[in-house]
Amino acid sequence: MPHKVHVRQADRVIVVADGATILETALEAGIEYPFGCQSGNCGACKSRLLAGEVELQEYSEFALSDEERTQGLVLACRAMPQSDCKVAWLELDETVQHPLRQLACRVAELQQATHDIRIVRLAIEAGGPYTFSAGQYAAVAFPGQPPRDYSMANRPEEALLEFHVRAMQGGKVSHFVNRELKVGDRVTLEGPMGLAYWRETHGGPILAVAGGSGLAPIKSIVETALARGALQPIHLYFGVREERDVYGEAGFRALAERHRNLRVNVVLSEAKGPTKRRTGPLHEAVAQDFPTLDGCKLYLAGPPVMVDAAAKLAERLGARKEDIHADPFYSAHELVAKGAAG
């Protein structure tokens, strides 16, 4: 008897005939299901059985261990449904390997984005080529200053490296950058670093959530995904305190005109006076819009408190832990304190 199988990443239901496998039926239906040997030996089509029952034809222990089987994993090329099922192939979380570089750069452009955020664009003079994945960061040393972590805001293909630096109250380096840095100054940089980078093979909806200068890595992720042809819904949530903290909006609105899959939400947490914008904590705006985040990828960047609240909400709404990629902007002092505590 044929059974219906819902394939999560494709969000499609296929009908698998008696004696047929999930993989062969999915491929015939034009779904880009990952696969390799098609004989149960390589494990490339390893999938999570989310609901229903399957019978597995013979396969090798190398492709699927007994432990994995008891955890609900199956091989799509060997799986014959015995009831209606739901499956999701495993995302092989592409581990990015970019060589760590020490770059000598020069400040090429400076732009005041808000009263306390300065955009710095650096031209690489030596030490390249510099490759990175959208969402990563670097340790940047401005003239006479100790190095601090700042996230690349540009797309990896672009020549100038872009950083958004918010002047933090009592902050040494961020104040220097906002008040004293000049075009032509020399800057050294070590990178790339960080794991909260854009996962290119994920086909589900993307929630890109930024607080303040957390927009930097989020901008890189959103622009890169769209430039590389991502077609899934991309929801940008940009949270700031009040109107004067909003920046970069025109660029995202223009991008949304060209890419109908991009939705831009700006949320003010401490609006002064009447406003047409959404107000309240950023994670609550997300909760209002999404009853479930099952199958979504989330990229979160900005103040640790905001990132933490958004990550907890995401888990509560059904996002898988491995689909939450967070970059809390801890200061050097907080990192030392956390290290000591840990």
Ligand X SMILES: Cc1cc2nc3c(=O)[nH]c(=O)nc-3n(C[C@H](O)[C@H](O)[C@H](O)COP(=O)(O)OP(=O)(O)OC[C@H]3O[C@@H](n4cnc5c(N)ncnc54)[C@H](O)[C@@H]3O)c2cc1C
Residues that bind ligand X (CB under 6 A): 137, 148-151, 164-166, 168-175, 194, 213, 216, 327, 329-333
Angle between helices 304-316 and 282-289 (to 10 degrees): 20
The distance of closest approach from Cβ of residue 199 to ligand X in the complex, given in angstroms and rounded to an integer, is 18
At its nearest, how many Å lie between ligand X and the CB of residue 35? 36
The minimum distance between CB 178 and ligand X, in angstroms, equals 9
The residue among 43 and 135 lying less far from ligand X, judged by its C-beta, is: 135
Distance CA 308, CA 334 (A): 15
- Measured from the CB atom, is 39 or 269 closer to ligand X? 269
Q: CB-wise, 54 or 307, nearer to ligand X?
A: 307
Q: Which is nearer to ligand X, 205 or 248 (CB)?
A: 248
C-alpha angle 123-125-128 in degrees, rounded to nearest 5: 100
| Closest distance to ligand X from the beta carbon of 189 (Å) | 13
The least distance separating ligand X from the CB of residue 332, rounded to whole angstroms, comes to 4
Q: Which is nearer to ligand X, 203 or 328 (CB)?
A: 328
Tokens of 190: 């070590």
Strand, helix or coil at 80? Answer: strand
In terms of DSSP H, where are the helices of 170-265?
A: 172-179, 215-227, 249-258
Are 163 and 120 in contact, with CB atoms under 8 Å apart? yes
Cβ neighbours, 10 Å, residue 125? 12
Q: Cα angle at 299 between 8 and 114, to 5 degrees?
A: 145
